[in-house]
Structure 1
Amino acid sequence: MKFNRLLLSSLVAIALSACGTAEIDKTDIVTSQAQSEQNVHPVWPKLDIVVKSDPAVEAKVAEILQGMTLEQKVAQMIQPEIRDVTVAEMRQYGFGSYLNGGGSYPNGNKQSTAADWIDLAEQMYQASIDDSLDGSTIPTMWGTDAVHGHNNVIGATLFPHNIGLGAANDPDLIERIAEVTATEVLVTGIDWIFAPTVATVRNDRWGRTYEGYSEHPDIVRDYSAAIVKGLQGQGESFMGDGKVISNVKHFVGDGGTTDGIDQGNTIVDDETLFNIHSQGYVGGLSAGSQVVMASFNRWNGQKIHGNKYLLTDVLKDTMGFDGFVVGDWNGHGQVAGCSNESCPQSINAGLDMFMAPTQSWKPLFKNTVQQIQDGVIPMSRVDDAVTRILRVKVRAGLFEKPSPAERSLSGKTELLGAAEHRAVAREAVRKSLVLLKNQNNLLPLSPTQNILVAGDGADNIGKQSGGWTITWQGTNNVNSDFPGGSSVWDGIASQVTAAGGTATLSVDGSFSEKPDVAVVVFGEEPYAEGVGDIATLEYSPGNKKDLALLNSFKDQGIPVVALFITGRPLWVNPELNASDAFVAIWLPGSEGAGVADVILRDANEAVQYDFHGKLSFSWPKDPNQIVNKGDDDYDPLFPYGFGLTYQDTDTLGDDLSEVIASKKQDKPLVFFERSTQAPWALTLVSAFNTVAVNANSMAIGDVQYRTEDRVVQEDAFQIKTLGGSWAGIRFKGNGQAQDFNASMAQNSQLSMLVNVKEAPTADVLVGLNCGTVDGCKSVINIREQLTKMSKNTWNTLSIDAKCWSDKGISYAALNEGLNIISAGQMTVSFSAIGFVQPEATSAITCP
């Protein structure tokens, strides 16, 4: 077994950043800049941007800039994250902005209230304008990823993810969604939304496919303009009450990487980069978006965060963008010759603001000041960057607006998840649904029937909402985390009961009375960037429980309606064959009841709403097919724009090919790679207490947990044990024994990357457990190996698999996963934990 292609890209990133701590050669930087200065390809246009230069704004910006010290300027150019910056540090430095990452909350509390968010915003704002330490009164601003509603906040309205909205193809709806999102964000005192995402996705294996509206640039362009208008306003409404700063992202080409690898390489010419991947910027920047976020990916081998041609020559000088460019999560650290702590190359290339989460912002601030003093970064470039940042703040009225707690919408919690907002989201759900199959006009269903609702997605608002939902990856959420929301089951049950029919929820499909029809709600588990990358488009390879459920109804002669939760088109030929009707419901968000509005008739047997959605992505006919509208050999299963209505006759049939032209691979045993891997769930353990990890900072008893960045965002985690009891982590199973290849016991090793911050003071036990099987558990002590490791460096620790199998562990019956616990004190970080084929002798071997 090998780790997937993400690990390869991570290793490449390590190699590129390895020299980041070396002394910077100014000559190399100047030479690199000179090489990037080339004539801009004529395909790039001068945009007609609605927000024009204003002499009064420019004069105010120049006046502020003239009175700033070097340190104050650099502070405007650095954006720390709320986990790693304090109010006192904001007062000391006066940062231009700060952010909360996905799964990061005030006080580290997932259940933080609107008042908690406002309180932090107010404290940060007051600290930023307090000149007692830094001499600056420039207001800071808070940026957040509100990408399908205010998705970090409990109780907010959550809209369908972008892929569903693309199927709706309704720019007016999109503008209204943006207006609602801006309102709910302002309720919590935040100024700036990292949206819209305007990637034109060309490979659906990419784990961020659902963040794209379409594979076709036209929808992306029109939606980008609509969202920016809804968020920021235009004309007299520009940046007025109810409006926030918008941010088109990620510039540029993130949806076109080779093999759909997140943060990978987009190999295209200027014409393709503009015509396919840049139309979202044509729409959004023309509509006046004030911020552009640089992309993690490369363009023809060069990281965008260090690409002067694109960031400066194209975006600013040619297209005429006069706002500022912000980096993505330590993206500057991936530029060749850079690290998270030092990257003059990015600033010189045209990055205006470092996004610098983790404690890396501290050396980054110091190094950047020194590099300016040494002439490595020209003062003219610094003044340009700060001018752009100040220009956006002045345009946004931040110097005149009251503090966050005193703004017009702040604290109006009745607007958070308001009924009128949820009505817009429910409309979006209805319009996003795409009907792919409807044999014998099974849909719409009569609500007077006996309807069985099955599948693990039926009553699961977290699953139907997907990634970027409360937590970064969207995992470990339960229905109670969505007060005011509704599952698909909620909508069906409510309408069927009101009409006099019978609705029964049975996740596993069991029943006592044969139903008239079965509605099965199933699909992808939540994921976000990186973690969602897949090797092929086959749905759920190696686990066909959903298919078995569909077939069980078919074998009993029960008509089946399949409601497919998904963040991308997937090869589901077997599932299509097993269903009489099949609907792509995408990731509908918090208003799952909207699904029932379309698939059910009303109590008088009349159609409530017909299907409106049409595919904005082509649907593959083979698990290895990457297909996009306009391809020379365009041959999808369902073409771009396909979508049945109740007036259409379905001719699909039940005989789609189910042959997969690929070799079956052994099931890999991986516990953690960028995130916890299915079927495992990460939990904290202290004495006899456990708690599921559902945030990026948590603690229970004698163990503290937080995510950290090794190469990319949150691809590692740190555990700190306090020594009062046996404490640590457990990769908990899903209650079912996991059957892995029996040869693992002889031919593999457990490998993990380890970074010792504080060596253990007692034994550290790594254990496997078969749960209820007697004798099927064993532990290995790794204290000696951890103690010998150099501190604050990443090392590989490997253990022969047979060390456990020789003590009774059966790799065909694992259901408790891996445990790492200690009764002593230690602070250790872990990454990339899983069984691999040996590449070297294990650190721990067993005879």
Structure 2
Amino acid sequence: MKTIKSLFLLSLLIVNLLISSTYGSSIRVSIVGGEEAEVIEKPRTFGNKRELKLEYSQIYPKKQLNQENINFMSARDTFVDNLMSKMSITEKIGQMTQLDITTLTSPNTITINETTLAYYAKTYYIGSYLNSPVSGGLAGDIHHINSSVWLDMINTIQTIVIEGSPNKIPMIYGLDSVHGANYVHKATLFPHNTGLAATFNIEHATTAAQITSKDTVAVGIPWVFAPVLGIGVQPLWSRIYETFGEDPYVASMMGAAAVRGFQGGNNSFDGPINAPSAVCTAKHYFGYSDPTSGKDRTAAWIPERMLRRYFLPSFAEAITGAGAGTIMINSGEVNGVPMHTSYKYLTEVLRGELQFEGVAVTDWQDIEKLVYFHHTAGSAEEAILQALDAGIDMSMVPLDLSFPIILAEMVAAGTVPESRLDLSVRRILNLKYALGLFSNPYPNPNAAIVDTIGQVQDREAAAATAEESITLLQNKNNILPLNTNTIKNVLLTGPSADSIRNLNGGWSVHWQGAYEDSEFPFGTSILTGLREITNDTADFNIQYTIGHEIGVPTNQTSIDEAVELAQSSDVVVVVIGELPEAETPGDIYDLSMDPNEVLLLQQLVDTGKPVVLILVEARPRILPPDLVYSCAAVLMAYLPGSEGGKPIANILMGNVNPSGRLPLTYPGTTGDIGVPYYHKYSENGVTTPLFQFGDGLSYTTFNYTNLACSNCKPISGQSGNYTGVLGQSYTFTVTVTNNGNVQGKDSVLLYLSDLWAQVTPEVKMLRGFQKVDLMPAKSQQISFTLNAYEFSFIGVDNKITLESGQFIIMVGNQQLGLYLQ
């Protein structure tokens, strides 16, 4: 590993020496990782370094409005102005209040208590509801909610809300549709976001979001609580699978693609969002994904420079770039300040720098938690005041009426001015107007999209996404794909080999995941998929045993059964990982894989049979590196969703060529976490991951050639080295060739290295990716355009900074030098 790192650094230094033969003065640079320091040349900077500063308004210029936009906004403003002039204080506070559906249902049922609902509607004018009545588990004997039941519930709620409203203001309903409309029975379930990220194909993020919004809107729900835009840098964290991985650029591009998919490419600020699109929620703004303890909703200590460098860009791209209509606020605290009380981040940054015009909703009970969890407020009144001063618009209370009751008292006492209510109420009413709720508030059970829920083409799209996500990390002697000419008997074992429940993970039917496979109307386990595509004939025999369950006492008898079957098998396929989980109940104290799964794997490897390891997991659970390297092949499946079984089987048998790449660093030991691939030069050699970010093999080979900059100035006599002007955009081209014998898809990743800067630069950062599909012996030239922002960093003043100097562009084994003056 150190040799590879040394070669990488040496290649950077060679390019540097070539360029600095023209501009040179000596400086001593140390390579950390066991090698001795070397003396190299640093380029002159022609006196003082040139420096530029960027604002988000320059990176994302304000949209030029057309006449249709202007007309929409004018009509909306007139309508909302008139409506607000007639609203009472109680009505306004009701618009800012969101309650859980279980406040309306009778115990252990999904039946709406219409008396309770009417009381809320006529007394408090509640403006929003959320969640599934079976999110937390079964309601009596009811496992799931189908489309007709959802439509009836939403219609009942909306009817009674409007009847109780003096100004006939409709409610807005929100739902956690995390990887598909996971609370709508028969809806298509996609891979979770780490799997989506592993495709390195933004089209899949867009398609998944489009189908998710369609299936959610079909049952009368226009507000989707997705996507998660935090970066997955804390592998202990229970929600890492909801992120697009550790890289800020991947999270930005995939997140923005999802936003456009959810909202149909529209935003709610200057035009309508019509069915089958929904308004989405960029969450959880921001810094939530890196709790120091690794436990959900606990304190994060992230310096301002890190927040802006790594955690803010995905939100900026989704909000200012793609136009996300709402945001959900980080439930935790950052640097000792709960995000729900941060005027700096909720107003100065979000409203000021990012120019956000939409609705900011709290997460679950997070205003109340300022008292008993965060201890920044001594009373409910103080907590509400802190949150309003920071900039929240809507309180997800969600289980009682404390917020509207107490806030009404505070307004009456003069503690909160009505003008503060008006700021938030206007945003909420603007959103309802954009969603067409005033003109068409009721769901349509006869709408054509109702019948599209779970349609075949949607499930095929989910399977195609899973196919591109599955990542081949190890393949000794090309054991995969399995050769049916020589391999006749396969043992499939492991607790996730025949489990659709485990393929889906959390946020599937219920918050903590499904209870059993029968709750999924569609889908295939890996066992079912393998049998379907091989027909389980006499020429190719599949044996199955569970091997061991997860989270139970050691059952050596079960392991022995698997070992015995392995003795008569040509290949053993072992599928291990995690049980479904979500949020705080998913907190763990040890990143190690379940010890019984490790024991099963070890004893199967000890048989001497080739072992193919498949990982189905929410987090990169730690396995002994030597044990992993003893396996013939390793496939990372992430949480591929209901349709994941058949794609995995197709990859095993060679019907699909794997093309996924790791969107995160897979640690080798429990103590070697928290060092992403974009670490600093001083961190070289301090980490030894099991697998690296971007790793991913194929059944073919790809070659990169002719990396060039099309609009830079070549340096005379120095092939592959260029100069340019700071603050400009530059286009780089590279030729990709399929040198193998089978068709394959390749994720082409472009990295940028900044060799020197006023703030220590990263060794490299991803700045572009594209997916290509090539037949054998075919080539394709692809291009990447990097704008000025992509050469920037966060300076010593915590501003977006560009600095003249030396950069390296890398694609595969190709690299070039670029000196920006």
TM normalised by structure 1 equals 0.67
For residues 138 and 600 of structure 2, the distance between their equivalents in structure 1, rounded to whole angstroms, comes to 42
* Separation of aligned partners in 1, 2:57 and 2:593: 41
Q: What amino acid sits opposite 2:377 in the alignment?
A: G
> What is the aligned partner in structure 2 of residue 753 from structure 1?
none
> 2:377 matched to which residue of 1?
337
Q: Which residue of the partner structure matches residue 115 of structure 1?
A: 148
8 Å contact 1:163–1:568 — kept in the other structure? no
Query: Residues 160 and 235 of structure 1: is their aligned pair in 2 closer, same or farther, counting only changes over 3 Å?
Result: closer
Q: CA deviation at 1:330?
A: 0.5
Deviation of the 1:318 alpha carbon: 2.7
The answer to whether the aligner puts 1:276 opposite 2:328 as a matched pair is no
In the alignment, which residue of structure 2 is the partner of 1:609?
A: 656
1:261 aligned partner: 295
Q: What SS does the aligned partner of 2:584 have? A: coil
Q: What amino acid is aligned across from residue 583 of structure 1 in structure 2?
A: L
2:394 maps to: 353
SS at match of 2:586: coil
Aligned length: 594
User: Aligned residue for 1:490?
Assistant: 528
Q: Is the 8 A contact 2:563 2:604 kept in 1?
A: no
Query: In structure 2, how many angstroms separate the alpha carbons of the residues matched to 1:105 and 1:289?
Result: 31
Post-superposition Cα deviations, 1:764-791, rounded to whole Å, max 9, x if no partner, equal xxxxxxxxxxxxxxxxxxxxxxxxxxxx
Q: Deviation at 1:399?
A: 1.2
- Is residue 202 from structure 1 mapped to residue 233 from structure 2 by the alignment? yes
Alignment partner of 1:562 out of 610, 613, 617: 613
**Cα distance in 1, alignment partners of residues 438 and 138 from structure 2:** 24
Q: Deviations over 1:72-117 (max 9, x none)?
A: 0000000000001343244323322110167158966323322111
Residue from 552, 555, 563 that aligns with 2:603: 552
Quote how far apart the aligned CAs of 1:124 are. Answer: 0.8
Shift of the 553–406 alpha-carbon distance from structure 1 to 2, 3 Å rule, reads: closer
SS at match of 1:130: helix
Name the SS for the 1:591 alignment partner: helix
| 1:356-375 equivalence runs, <5 A | 356-359=397-400, 362-375=401-414
Query: Residues 547 and 574 of structure 1 are in contact (CA less than 8 Å); yes or no, is this contact kept in structure 2?
Result: no
Give me the CA root mean square deviation: 2.4
**1:455 maps onto 2:494 in alignment:** yes
Q: Aligned equivalents of 2:62 and 2:198: distance in 1?
A: 28
Q: Partner amino acid for 1:87?
A: L
Task: Give per-residue Cα distances to partners, 1:328-355, cap 9 Å, x unaligned.
Answer: 0011122211666862221121100000
Q: Give the equivalent residue in structure 2 for 1:241.
A: 275
2:352 equivalent among 302, 314, 317: 317
In structure 2, give the amino acid aligned to 1:439: K
**TM-aligned CA deviation for residue 265 of structure 1:** 2.4
Deviation at 1:530, TM superposition (A): 1.7
Matched with 1:644 is 697
Letter in 2 for 1:535: Y
For residues 616-645 of structure 1, the C-alpha deviation after alignment (integer angstroms, 9 at most, x for no partner) is 101112211122022121433322111111
**C-alpha deviation, 1:417, in angstroms:** 1.6
Q: Post-superposition shift, 1:551?
A: 2.8
CA drift of 1:402 comes to 4.9
Q: Cα distance, 1:584 vs. partner? A: 1.0
Give the structure 2 partner of residue 302 of structure 1. Answer: 337
Tell me how far 1:302 sits from its aligned partner.
Answer: 0.5
- Partners of 1:514 and 1:163 in 2: how far apart? 36
Contact 2:272 2:436 in 1 (8 A): no
Q: Kindly indicate whether the alpha-carbon contact (under 8 Å) linking 2:492 and 2:574 is maintained by their aligned counterparts in 1.
A: yes
Tell me if the contact between 1:250 and 1:295 (Cα under 8 Å) persists in the aligned partners: yes
1:356-402 CA-to-partner distances (Å, cap 9, x unmatched) read 1222xx12211101111212222211100000101111111111225
| Contact 2:192–2:241, Cα closer than 8 Å, also in 1 | yes
User: Which range moved further: 105-114 or 631-640?
Assistant: 105-114
Q: Which whole-Å deviations, capped at 9, do the CAs of 1:158-180 have from their partners, x for residues lacking one? A: 11111111111111111011111
Question: What residue number does 1:590 align with?
Answer: 642
Give distance in 2, aligned partners of 1:301 and 1:615.
33
The 1-side partners of 2:563 and 2:345 are apart by 57
CA spacing shift, 1:113–1:106, aligned 2, 3 Å: farther
Q: Distance in 2 between matches of 1:388 and 1:481?
A: 38
Amino acid at match of 2:699: Y
Q: CA deviation at 1:522?
A: 1.1
Percent of pairs identical after alignment?
30
Q: 1:61 to 1:249 in 2, by over 3 A?
A: same
Residue 628 of structure 1 corresponds to which residue in structure 2?
676
Q: CA 1:553 to 1:180, structure 2 compared with 1: closer, same or farther past 3 Å?
A: same
Distance 2:368 2:334 in 1: 16
| Residue type of the alignment partner of 1:608 | N
Q: How does 1:445-844 map to 2 (within 5 A)?
A: 445-446=482-483, 449-474=488-513, 477-497=515-535, 500-508=539-547, 509=562, 514-540=568-594, 544-572=595-623, 573=625, 575-601=627-653, 607-626=654-673, 627-632=675-680, 633-634=683-684, 635=687, 636-647=689-700
- Structure 2 SS opposite 1:375: coil
Q: 5+ unaligned residues in a row in structure 1: which ranges?
A: 1-40, 602-606, 650-847
Contact 2:563–2:607 (8 Å) recurs in 1: no
CA contact (8 A) 1:79 1:98 kept: yes
1:84 aligns with 2:103: yes
* Greater relative contact order (CA < 8 Å, ≥ 6 in sequence): 2
Aligned to 2:437: 398
Other-structure match for 2:160:
127
Give the SS at the match of 1:404: coil
**Corresponding position of 1:55:** 74
Change (3 A) 1:105 1:536: closer
What amino acid does structure 2 have at the position aligned with 1:125?
Q
What runs of 5+ residues in structure 2 fail to find an aligned partner?
1-52, 105-115, 371-375, 548-561, 703-821
Moved more, 91-100 or 245-254: 91-100
Cα distance in 1 between the residues matched to 2:74 and 2:354 = 20
Q: Which residue does the alignment assign to 1:103?
A: 135
Question: Compared with structure 1, are the counterparts of its residues 253 and 104 closer, same or farther at alpha carbon in structure 2 (3 Å cutoff)?
Answer: same
State the 1:483 CA deviation: 1.1
Matched residues in 1 for 2:563 and 2:380: separation? 53
Aligned partners of 2:291 and 2:301 also within 8 Å:
yes
Instruction: Give the Cα separation in 1 of the matches to 2:627 and 2:577.
Output: 11
Distance 1:402 1:77, change over 3 A: closer
Alignment pair present for 1:181 and 2:212: yes
